Structure 1
Amino acid sequence: MTPGGKSAPDFSWPAELCESVRRLPDASCVWVALSGGLDSVFLLHLVSRCLGSDRAIAAIHVNHQLQSNAEETERFCRNQCKSLAIPLTVRRVTVEASATEDSTTGGVEEAARRARYDVFESILEPGQLLLMAHHGDDQAETVLFRLLRGSGVAGLAGMPASRALGQGELHRPLLAFRRQQIQDWSQQAGLMWVEDPSNTDLKYDRNFLRHSVMPLLKSRWPSLIKRLGHSASACHDQGELAASLAQIHYASVAGGEGRLRVTQMLGLSLAEQKNLVHWWVTRSGYRYPAVANWQQVLDELLLSAADREPEFRGEGFSLRRFHGWIYLVPDQPGDLPVPQSLAPGHPVQVGAWRFTLSATATPGNTPPPIRISTREGGERIRTRPDGPSKPLKKWLQEQKVPPWERARIPLVFEGQEDCEELVAVGDLWLSGKYCGEAPAAGWRIVVEREFD
């Protein structure tokens, strides 16, 4: 443990510090991400001192089980929270072994970060906030680190002061303060903290920047932290403008079903195409791929021959072209959905589709057996009572249903298993027996689908 200065029970917390947490939005609970290091311990005490009488406060410690002092740090966090009467939740995570194989590229750091944020998302409930102790020096290091990685405007905007996280919000109230200020205040307040032994290991890129590069830059440009903060703020503003432009283009290019028209996309410049795709991918919750030549990717998606179905794969998704549209397709699990029964008062969710059954006739009327499943092969569809039936496979092709959806699109069957009738195909078709003002079956099936 690293001690601060002399114990100072009469330490007066600066007004600007208290204001940084008092102006946070109302919340049912304010969580503090507590690592045990200087910054997070300082934030914990700040929140306890300035919000303790007004808000419900809790802390979360994620034990990555990577450092030799991980157990000591966990005990320290428990004792800190006990002394402040703040409830502490501890979650232990296991970082993937493969991430440690290339530590020089930050693999273990990134894997630990992802594990940490997964925990944060899992604990946050609607109306709750999570506070993190990133400060101005962290912001400057982030901007410089991303610059060296070739990030664009969005990356150079640095860490946002607040953003959505899971069902709640993440806030960083200390971004306006420097590391030295926080250390000085911590020593004056007599705080103690735990040093992470990996923080001085220069094989990690961020540590190299912090200990070898930043001091040299600060000696040459003493106002470096403020300058990089201004640059991040300017990039943030540019990012906001780019997002606004992307939304305008999306409104004119999108088909209302989570897809983009190729012909309309071709009317945009390359910069506008890249900006739209960036906004679309990140808005859908995916990491924007680091691609050396986006022009080549977009040319293949937009300009390939009409009979081709080009695809670009990202992390957790792919961009695919089919019949003049670009689709953003989430990666699907290998197993198909399990068949389910549809009954009144028990909606069924199958992927993006939601099915509800409700009575329209005399109360007490019993619905026939209704089953929701996916294609097994050999199904036929009759879209009109007096019309011919045809293979469902052919009908789906005629409806231009993308190939990746055909195996997973939910089918609704009525009747006993040995004598079933197909009455609905996803949100594409629903038999008149179960729709309209007076469904012949006496029951109405409502089909809803969510699009990205």
Structure 2
Amino acid sequence: MLIEKKTQEILYKYKKILIAYSGGIDSTVLLYNLFKLRNKYSLLLRAIHINHNLNYKSTFWMKQCFLQCKKWNISFIYKNIYIKHKNNIEQYARKKRYQIFKNIIYKNEILVTAHHLDDQCENFFLFLKRGSGPKGLSGISKIKIFDNLILFRPLLKISKKQIICYAIKKKLKWIEDPSNKNIKYDRNFLRNIILPKITTRWPFFKNAVIRSIQNYKEQEELLTDLINPILIKLIQKDNSLFIKPLYNFNIIKRNFIMRKWIEYNKYYYMPSRKILSIIWNEIVCCKNHNTPQIKIGQYIIRKYKNYLYCIKYFPNLQKNTILVWDNINIPLILPNKLGKLIILNLNLNYKKESIYIRKPHNNEIIYIRFNISEKCYFNGIKNKKNINYIWKKLSVPKWKRDQIPLLFYNNILIAELEHKLVTKEGIASIFKKDNFFIFWKKIY
């Protein structure tokens, strides 16, 4: 058994296992080990095979994987990926794979992959090539949690040589993908050209790399422990970063704090020194009234007053965006993954989180708009006020205002649903049968 005792105990703890099964030697050995451990630990196994459609044999390989799983009585799932990009194929394929994993993973199920010791060394060199610091050079973790996905790598301390010897000894059959020899891909170049030459000259080089990885990991953990008391004070409840104290820090400390804050916001690709410099000089230190921003992957870094925000990128909702709510008995799905609106009965669990308004009359159409500047009498405010004025008083950043649903009956603004602002025209009457609650169920 290649999976050591302590690692087996982790599998026993989780029970439900989704195995990323390509059919190659690494994932075949992993699948076989889990198959052998299934009865011992009452594991519930599923295998997911992702066909990248990059080789004319890919459908045949998928069938081989299916037959192998059928032989071992393991539930088999397969999905297709079609890659149109000619650049960054590896990165694009990885992103698509993890989107699929996230979509099919069961509750309390963990994703298990066949990353091994040689992968760890290759990753070290790839991050070194990018000029990474201790965070990047600390290698891939045995257990990683991201996007509500638990990723576990039970073979991380096992070398490729051990895996090959084990597969031959157990007479396992696996798929040989010729693209693994194509050195146009950086990882294959390292695997097939660079690392063999290094290890031929220095046989214990991989072990030395693993020691360096452990040192970097310890340094990163120590730095994080030292900076956490400051981060706790600077990071706000809405995950924004209070930037005023940063002016008093040196560039090294300041950059580390910004990196940690970006990581805290669940952004997994750390910004380079150049990006951090742009964030500081062009966003934090910007003196004009514009709202400069920088897009990193799917996220945007921007400033509002004395705070930095790291927010998921979505296109602005235009003023002409109108969502008609024809049937209020059915939840209304909002754009940009903002969630959905639900009409609730008077006997409800979300009363505090809901907004209480009057029902529309028979001749009134109910709909949602965004990014509208309306002057109204809001409940609790004596004078007629523009909604942008209220948002400004509430310190709502401009980009957040654009994502706030505004409830209309015909052409009359009834309520702003984020801060539960009800207009004079939307106030619920004293007759409860004529009122209802609207609950905005957000996606976090």
TM-score by length of 2: 0.83
Query: Which residue does the alignment assign to 1:373?
Result: 368
Change (3 A) 1:322 1:165: closer
Alignment map for 1:310-389 (pairs within 5 Å):
310-333=292-315, 335=317, 336=321, 338-340=323-325, 357=344, 359=346, 367-369=358-360, 371=366, 373-375=368-370, 377=372, 379-384=374-379, 387-389=382-384
Q: What is the RMSD of the two structures over their aligned residues, measured on CA atoms? A: 3.5
How far apart, in 1, do the equivalents of 2:271 and 2:431 lie? 50
CA contact (8 A) 2:26 2:114 kept: yes
Matched, 1:179 2:149: no
Aligned counterparts of 1:24 and 1:209: Cα–Cα separation in 2: 31
Superposed, 1:23-38 pairs within 5 Å as 23-38=10-25
Amino acid corresponding to residue 417 of structure 1 in structure 2? N
**In structure 1, distance between residues paired with 2:134 and 2:298:** 23
Counterpart position of 2:419: 427
| Aligned equivalent of 1:288, options 270, 293, 299 | 270
In the alignment, structure 1 residue 125 sits paired with structure 2 residue 118: no
Give the Cα separation in 2 of the matches to 1:71 and 1:293: 42
Query: Does the 8 Å contact 1:63/1:74 carry over to 2?
Result: yes
* Mapped pair 1:300 → 2:293: no
Deviation per CA, 1:64-100, whole angstroms, max 9, x where unpaired? 01023212211211121111111110111111x22x2
Distance 2:61 2:333 in 1: 46
Supply the AA of the counterpart residue of 2:303: R
For CA contacts below 8 A with separation 6 or more, give which structure has more relative contact order: 1
Aligned equivalents of 1:385, 1:115: Cα separation in 2 = 49
Residues 162-190 of structure 1 deviation map (CA, whole Å, 9 limit, x = unaligned): 11255441110011111111111111111
Contact 2:279 2:301 (8 Å CA) reproduced:
no
Q: Contact conserved, 1:434 with 1:444, CA < 8 A, in 2? A: no
5 Å-filtered alignment, 1:102-251, equals: 102=87, 107-245=88-226, 247-251=228-232
1:16-65: per-residue Cα shift (whole Å, max 9, x none)?
54653343253352121111111110111111012245211111111101
Amino acid at match of 2:129: L
Q: Give TM-score, length-normalised by structure 1.
A: 0.82
Q: 1:301 to 1:244 in 2, by over 3 A?
A: farther
Change (3 A) 1:386 1:39: closer
Contact conserved, 1:433 with 1:441, CA < 8 A, in 2? no
Q: 1:26 to 1:274 in 2, by over 3 A?
A: same
**Change in CA separation of 1:395 and 1:228 when aligned onto 2, cut-off 3 Å:** same
1:252 pairs with one of 197, 222, 233:
233
Q: Name 2:401's counterpart in structure 1.
A: 406
Aligned length: 424
| 44, 59, 78: which one aligns with 1:90 | 78
**Residue in structure 2 matched with residue 392 of structure 1 by the alignment:** 387
Percent identity for Structure 1 against Structure 2? 23
Secondary structure at 1:338's aligned position in 2?
strand
Task: Select between 391-400 and 176-185 the one with higher mean Cα deviation.
Answer: 391-400
Greater CA deviation, 441-450 or 164-173? 441-450
- Specify the alignment match of 1:10 in structure 2: none
CA distance in 2, matches of 1:326, 1:372: 33
Alpha-carbon distance change, 42 to 391 in structure 1, aligned in 2, over 3 angstroms: same
Aligned residues of 2:378 and 2:385 also touching (Cα < 8 A) = no
Structure 2 unmatched ranges of 5 or more = 349-355
Cα distance, 1:326 vs. partner?
A: 1.6
Kindly provide the CA deviation profile for residues 232-290 of structure 1, in whole angstroms up to 9, marking residues without a partner as x: 22222333334445543332123422322231332333223322322232333333334
SS in 2 for 1:125: coil
Cα distance change of structure 1 residues 282 and 51 upon mapping to structure 2, 3 Å threshold = same
Q: What is the match of residue 51 of structure 1?
A: 38
Query: Does structure 2 conserve the Cα–Cα contact (< 8 Å) formed by 1:322 and 1:402?
Result: yes
Q: Which amino acid counterpart does residue 426 of structure 1 have in structure 2?
A: E
Query: Any unmatched runs of 5+ in structure 1?
Result: 1-12
